[in-house]
Amino acid sequence: MKDWIGPLLALQEVDMRIENLGIRLGLLPREEQKLAKELKIHHQALDAAREEYKKTELAIKQVESAISKFNEHINRLQQQSAMIKKNTEYQAMMNEIKQLKDNIGEEETKEINLLDQLEEQKSRYREQEKQFAAEQSNVNDEIAEMRQSRRDVEAEIEQLRGSRKELEAKVDATSLGVYNRLLKATGVPMARITPSGICGHCHLKVTPQTHTSAKKRDLVCCDNCSHLIYLDN
Ligand SMILES: [Zn+2]
């Protein structure tokens, strides 16, 4: 029988590496989704900030339209005033005009406050917009990095699969069969035993016969956990 221990240990190392790289690959899409989700939340906040100042702009337009309606009304009354003969009617009209001017004053005060508010909201929005742009560029960089890392990992796995084939060719079919079955079942097929015969995987003592076989470097499994056992030279 060819020496199975060295090549299978090397094979196991390759398989562990492939396994770990596979796990890393599996995590990448979730990380990418997480980044995209965070960015979306910030985008929604930005939209909300824009919505806020748009509302204020609309309120200002409404105030301005109210003011111009009051002004039109005043103009109409002033044109009619020339035709009024009765003093009481004239006085009533003057009172109405005064009331309309008061209304205009109120609306103008409202407008000044709204304009202040709009300025604040817009500057807040611009600040958020700047932050968002920076964040977006960071996320894009991170995603590009992740994609590069995916390509690197995939290339390494490809390379490892090549090494795996070469190593497999160095082992006899029986050993390889046992190894591959254990790899599927346990993930880690090989276990070193101590010189006194304690299995490195299950930590139980193997039987004397098994211990003897291991000393002879025969293909042998732990009596308890079935891992392929070997002794260091
Ligand atoms: Zn064991």
**Residue pLDDT, tens place only, 74-96:** 999 999 988 888 999 999 999 99
pLDDT for the residue numbered 86: 92
Does the pLDDT of residue 101 top 60, yes or no? yes
Question: Percent of the chain, pLDDT > 90?
Answer: 94
Measured in angstroms, how far is the CA atom of residue 182 from the centroid of ligand 1?
Answer: 12
* CA 88 vs CA 65, 75, 77, 94: distances in Å: 31, 20, 15, 10
Q: Which residues are paired to 191 by β-bridges? A: 229
- CA nearest to 110, candidates 169, 54, 66: 66
Q: Of 171, 190, 218, at which residue does a domain stop?
A: 171
Predicted TM-score of the model (pTM) = 0.71
Mean pLDDT of the chain: 95
Measured in angstroms, how far is the CA atom of residue 211 from the centroid of ligand 1?
Answer: 12
Shared-domain flag, residues 144 and 216: no
Measured in angstroms, how far is the CA atom of residue 24 from the centroid of ligand 1?
Answer: 29
Shared-domain flag, residues 70 and 176: no
Shared-domain flag, residues 129 and 178: no
Shared-domain flag, residues 57 and 153: yes
Q: What is the pLDDT of residues 162-193, one digit of tens each?
A: 999 999 999 999 999 999 999 999 989 999 99
Shared-domain flag, residues 210 and 130: no
Q: Of 171, 204, 223, at which residue does a domain stop?
A: 171
Q: Of 150, 171, 192, at which residue does a domain stop?
A: 171
Terminal C-alpha separation, the chain: 17
Shared-domain flag, residues 187 and 135: no
Shared-domain flag, residues 164 and 198: no
Shared-domain flag, residues 143 and 194: no
- d(CA 194, CA 202) in angstroms, rounded, equals 12
Measured in angstroms, how far is the CA atom of residue 187 from the centroid of ligand 1?
Answer: 14
- d(CA 178, CA 222) in angstroms, rounded, equals 13
- d(CA 68, CA 65) in angstroms, rounded, equals 5
In the chain, the DSSP E strands lie at 190-192, 228-230
What integer is the mean pLDDT of 33-43?
Answer: 94
Shared-domain flag, residues 142 and 197: no
Which residue segment(s) compose the domain that 117 sits in? 5-171
Which amino acid, residue 187? Answer: G
Measured in angstroms, how far is the CA atom of residue 203 from the centroid of ligand 1?
Answer: 6
User: What CATH number is associated with residue 78?
Assistant: 1.10.287.1490
Asked if residue 228 lies in contact with residue 217, where contact means CB atoms within 8 angstroms, the answer is: no
Measured in angstroms, how far is the CA atom of residue 214 from the centroid of ligand 1?
Answer: 13
pLDDT for the residue numbered 232: 86
Shared-domain flag, residues 208 and 193: yes
Does the pLDDT of residue 195 top 60, yes or no? yes
Q: Which residues surround ligand 1, an ion (CB under 5 A)?
A: 199, 201-202, 222, 224-225
Shared-domain flag, residues 29 and 11: yes
The pLDDT confidence band at residue 1, using thresholds 50, 70 and 90, is low
Structural domains of the chain, count: 2
Does the pLDDT of residue 146 top 90, yes or no? yes
The pLDDT confidence band at residue 2, using thresholds 50, 70 and 90, is low
